[in-house]
Each structure stands twice: as C-alpha cells, then as structure tokens.
A and B are shown apart, each in its own frame.
Chain A
Amino acid sequence: MKISHWLRNVILTELFIPITLLIVGIYHGLMQTVYRAGLIHQSSFAGLDYYQGLTLHGVINALVLTTFFAVAFGHATIAYFLKVEPRKQPTKISMWLMIVGTAMAAWAMFAGKADVLYTFYPPLKAHPLFYLGLAVMIVGSWIPLFDWVGLLKGWRTSHAGEKVPLAVWGTVINFIIWFTCTLSVAYEVLFMLLPWSLGWKATVNVALARTLFWFFGHALVYFWLLPAYVMYYSFLPKLAGGKLYSDLVGRITFAIFLIFSIPVGVHHQFSDPSIEPNTKLTQSLLTFGVALPSFLTAFTMFATLEYAGRKNGGKGLFGWIGRLPFFDSSRYLFSYFICGLILFIFGGFTGIVNASYELNAVVHNTAFLPGHFHMTVAGPVILAMLGMSVYLVSQLKGKKVFAPALNTIVPYLWMIGVLIFSAGLMWGGLKGEPRRTNLGLSYLNPKSDLFHPQWVPDTLLTMCGGFIMFLAGVFFFIVFFGTFFRKQTQEADQLEFPVSEALHDERIIPLFNDLRPWVVLMVLIILIAYIPAILDVFRFAGPGAPPHVPNTPIPGL
C-alpha cells in the first residue's frame, strides 16, 4: 500500500537518528570488552572515560534505540494493518519531543556530566538536563498510544465481528505496558531526581527511587521485546514459506505479557535492603509467570518452522530444518529472525536463573547479568530491529538493499559473536567477576595489588566475542547507510509486510479481542504486587541521601 510522504519521513527519521547513534553505542560496547580484558590500564581512551562510555552504551542501545524503533515500527504496523494513517499533528509532536529529549540527554552524556550509567541510581548525580531529556523523550513516546487507540476504536466499529489483527493487538498492548511502567520513572525523574539535582530539594529517598526505577526498568525489556514478537508472529511464518501454527497462542502470549510485565520489577532488587523477603518472593513467582508466554512462543515458532520446512519438502525427524531459507538474500528478514530466536533460547533460560530468588544471590551484579541480557536485548530484540530497519528504509525510499549477501550474513556473524561474548561474561560472573567495573584499571592490571588472575581467560573470551559483534555491527552499518543513500530504483512511499496466514485460525473469542478486561487485570496485579514493596520502602528506609556538593564526587553531609 502507499503511505503519505510525511508519515514516511517521520518513520525514516525515527530510524535514522537512533541507528546513527548506535555507532557510538556499539563502539563503546567494543571498548568495554577491551577495558575489561585488561588491555587498557587507564580510566579513559581517546578522550572518553570508561564509565562515560558505559552510560552512553546503555542509554543509547537500551533506551533511545529501542524507544525510537518501537514508535517507528508501531506507526508502520498500525497504518498497514488498520489501513488508516496516524494523525499528522500528534505524530509530529511526538517525534520532535523524542528528538529534543534525546539531544538534551546526549549533550549531558557526551559532556561527561552524566556518568551515572543506564540505571542512574541516586545519590549518584547527573546534570539536570540528562534527567529532563529522558523525561521529555519518554513523554514523546506516549503520544502515539492515544492516537492509535482512537484509530483502533474506529476500526472496531467499521469491522464489527472481525478479529483485531494480531500485529495491532501486540503493538497496542506493548504501548499500554510502556505507558504504565514509565509513569513511575517519570515521577522519579520529575519529582525526585530533577528537583534534587537542581538543588531545590535537599534529600532523596534512595530505596524509593530504586523501586520506582525498576517498576519501569524491567517492563522496559518487554517493551523492546514485543516488537520482535510482533514480527515473529506476523511475518516469520510467511518468510519461512509456511503458516503461523496458531493465531490464538499469539493473542494469549501478548495478553499474558500485558498482565505480568510490570509487577515483576522487584526481582532486580533481591539484594536490596528495605524490601521484605515476602515481597521479593511474590514478585519472583510473578516473574516465572512472565516466562510462560515465551515458552508458548518457543513452541509455536518451532511448530511453525517445522510446518514450513515440511511444506518446502523436508522429510524425517530433522530434515525440515535444512529446508528453511537460512541464506536467501531476498528473504533476509528470515536470517535476522532465526538468529534472534536461537539466541533467545539461551537468554530465556538464563533469565529464569536471575528471577529465582536464591540463585540470584549468586549472580546478582556479576558479569553473569550482562551475559544474560545480551542474549535477549542483543539477540532477538536488536536483530529484529536491525533487519526491520533495513527493510523499512528500502521500501519507504524505494531502494534495493545494498550488499545483499553481506546483509544476509550479518545476523549469523552477530549471533556467533553474542554467543562467545555471553559465554565469557557468564563464566566470569559465576567466578564472581563484577559487572559495570573497569577491570583493566585494577583487577586485571598485573601491577595492581588487586590483580585477579582467575578472571583473565573469561575476559579474553568476552573480548573475542565483542570483536566479532563489532565487526557484524560495522557490516550492518555498511548495509544500512548504503541502502539509505543509494540511488532510488523502485517506487517510493510503499509499505508492504510479508503477512502470514494462520494454520489454526480459531474463531473469535471476545476475551481475546478486547483489551479492556486485560487492562483492569493488569492494574489489579500491579497494586497487589507493588503496594507492599512501596510500604516496605517507607517503613525500613532511614534518612534520605543528601545532594552532591559541586566539584567533589562525595555527597554533602
């Protein structure tokens, strides 16, 4: 279908900006593995400090890229599946808020005034513009939800008795999760951190700030995962040459995400004081609940791929695997998706380790964690985003993909890199290697009193993986920018998706065609899970932490 020129420009802008920033993000990812392997015994390299790079890497890759992409892909999905375009005014306002917010936060980070990492735990303090910028960007990303919900309402009246398209069901659920979870971080930033970092408020309640952060921080991972799930359910079966095994499982999956995504944040705080063990246990159980939709997806995807492989002529127990289009450059999205799925198997299982209350005490804050989440966020999430970015750019600008063969091998190279990288990190983590630490400066510097020789082999392995990932990243940028800037050869402003049919297309179930009961259930579970946590934080926490004194890293007392 053809879409308006202005909408095309909005989507392209929302893809171009974060992918350009991703160059910085990936560079710092590589540099961290080099620092951590002890190759650099310094606090900074080429004018950029290790912890500054860590902040840039986390904020750009995990927050800016994912949010921009989710909004851009959401616009495309809604327009394509509902056959109605988002309204121009709110869409543009949303885009500009996101751009301005990102620019403010980026300035603070590049100027070295916000080395607080992606978690920005107070009383570590960043420049006020860092907090304000992130808040503005998040508010910008809220706007599309209200616009889309309006469009969906209109669609339902004119299509009475039809199922809401699965991709729309997923996209709207995703933004409801996002809106709800970011309310807490918006409160933390606007009413706690910002007045405190400006010096208007003397203290800040550390435990409360952490709890509000993780209310948002864990749901964020589903916000960036669900666009990938939308692609898996809606496009992967068609690309593989088959049909989606079950339409209903897709709907159940997204609905479970809606109710369980948010009330599980406390599992990031298992080692925190001031939250009762019972509260932590409750949220640990809920976290297991949120693993359920991923189990369902794993089954559905395997069934879907097997169906496709057999339809393509595969025989025997495993013969169907070889009949999937792994290296078909005209169906490059398939390679991006399949690599992400393979990584996610490991990402999911290690996630269950972290969610288990007692096992978490072994791995909390060790390198095991980045090992885990790189197999999720640097797995299905980023691969789906990168593949879809190339796809959208080539369609909307009417250009053939640049270097198609290279484009097809990028995800495989990336997957191998991530597997090596994560194996190294998790091995180190089990030996107690901390995350977020410039190991090269002390623990892996043979001249230091703190030298830990047992961490040498795993950090070297991590670095090898990091180099392979970086190389895959460079290849991707060649493909993306090559496509973006090459000569136009096809008709522009086109938007087509490889939409799958369902093998089992169950009849309409009202419960899985209406979001309202699910939203009510979501609110209820959040209240049950979070009221005790918030009460604990007020009951056990002592005085709030004082502000920083200018020019010294130590807070004023």
Chain B
Amino acid sequence: MQFLGVELDKYEFRALLTAMVVMTIFIFSMLYVVGAQRSDVPQCVNFDKSYLTPRVDKIDDSTYEVYMVAQMWGFQPDEIRIPVGSTVDFYLTSKDVVHGFYIDGKDVNMMAEYGNVTKRTAKFTTAGVYKIFCHEYCGVGHQNMEARIIVGFPSNQQ
C-alpha cells in the first residue's frame, strides 16, 4: 500500500482507514443531530441590563420566559410553578462570579457568567419537581445553591 509516497504495511493501512471511517461516522452523526434534529444548544444573546431583573413572564398558557439570575449562593427566582406541557425559554446571567445551572432530569446545562447571557429552551411534559443546582464552583456556599421548578401540581396556576 502506498501512503504519502511510502510503502505502508497493509494492516497499518487498514487501521488508518478504519480510524478515518470511524471518525467520519462520528462527525456525520454530530452534524446530523445539529442540522436535522435541530438540537438545542446554548445560544448567544447580546448582553443587556434588563436580564439582571429576575422574573417569570407568561407568554401564553403553555409558553413561559424565565429570566434567571445566579448570584452567591442562590438563583432568583428560586421557585417556578408552571403547568404540564409548558415550553420555557431560560435566559441566564450572573450578578457576580461564574455559576452553573443544571436542571436535574432535563439535561439543561448552562453557565452563568457576569456580563454574558445564555439561552436554552426546555419543554416540561411530565409533572414533578425539577431541581436546579449550581455545578460550577462559586465560593464557600457553592454546595447550597439550588432552586426548583414545580410542574403541574394542583395549586400551580399563577
């Protein structure tokens, strides 16, 4: 086998070929998920001071916008009540250091950074309590940083 003008052992050539085929499959799968499946990845949002005001905006019965602010050592709002089947846009920023934002059971996984805003969308189709916790070290109270999303409990209507 010739490779780059060199006589290459045939097993070696096959290994090289296999490695490249495997890489191609991986890369193709990744592009497929990004393109065809429109997977939700963190979006870039231009920073604006209004993101620093924590709030939950109800757009319609099943669409919400949550403006989440992380700061030492908690999230605001720290309890969000929404009906089952809601689609929620999360806008996240930080008031001080770098924080993490992970919704247990939803794989919503973001970073909160000072002067930056990040956005993810999640749909809550099952009733329950979804815990949010900080997964980036942010000082001595880091391990206490938590919030909750309560989905579909009877007294939930806001």
Contacts and interface: CB of A to CB of B under 8 A. Distances in A.
Interface of A: 43, 49, 51, 54, 117, 121-124, 205-207, 210, 245-246, 248-249, 270-277, 280-281, 284-285, 288-289, 291-292, 295-296, 299-300, 303, 352, 356-358, 361-362, 364-366, 432, 434-439, 441-443, 450, 452, 504, 506-507, 509, 511, 536, 539-545, 553-555, 557
Contacts of A507: 6
A271 B116 contact: no
A54 B48 CA distance: 35
Interface residues of B, number: 64
29 contacts: A205-B115, A248-B6, A271-B110, A271-B118, A273-B92, A273-B110, A273-B111, A275-B44, A277-B43, A284-B30, A289-B23, A296-B19, A357-B33, A358-B33, A358-B39, A364-B109, A435-B135, A436-B136, A436-B137, A442-B143, A504-B9, A509-B4, A536-B44, A541-B115, A541-B116, A542-B116, A545-B97, A553-B139, A553-B141
B7 A296 contact: no
A206 B98 contact: yes
B143 A365 contact: no
A274 B47 CA distance: 9
B140 A246 contact: no
Contact of B42 (A249, A270, A281): A270
B9 A272 contact: no
A214 to B, nearest CB: 12
B143 A540 contact: no
A124 B139 contact: yes
Interface in B66-106: 72, 92, 95-98, 100, 102, 104-105
A57 B23 CA distance: 34
A123 B96 contact: yes
B41 A439 contact: no
Contacts of B23: 288-289, 291-292, 295
Contact of B116 (A122, A274, A509): A274
Contacts of A295: 15, 18-19, 22-23
Contacts of B45: 273, 540
Nearest to B6: A506
A40 B53 CA distance: 37
A358 B44 contact: no
A248 B139 contact: no
A246 B138 contact: no
Given A206-B116, A207-B115, A366-B102, A361 B144 contact: no
> 9 closest A-B pairs (Cβ-Cβ)?
A542-B47, A434-B135, A273-B118, A299-B15, A542-B115, A295-B19, A545-B114, A273-B116, A365-B135
Nearest to B119: A273
Contact of A299 (B12, B43, B46): B12
Given A207-B115, A207-B116, A361-B107, 20 more contacts: A123-B96, A124-B137, A124-B139, A245-B9, A249-B12, A270-B42, A271-B111, A271-B118, A284-B30, A288-B26, A362-B109, A365-B109, A436-B136, A436-B142, A438-B142, A540-B45, A542-B46, A542-B115, A545-B96, A545-B115
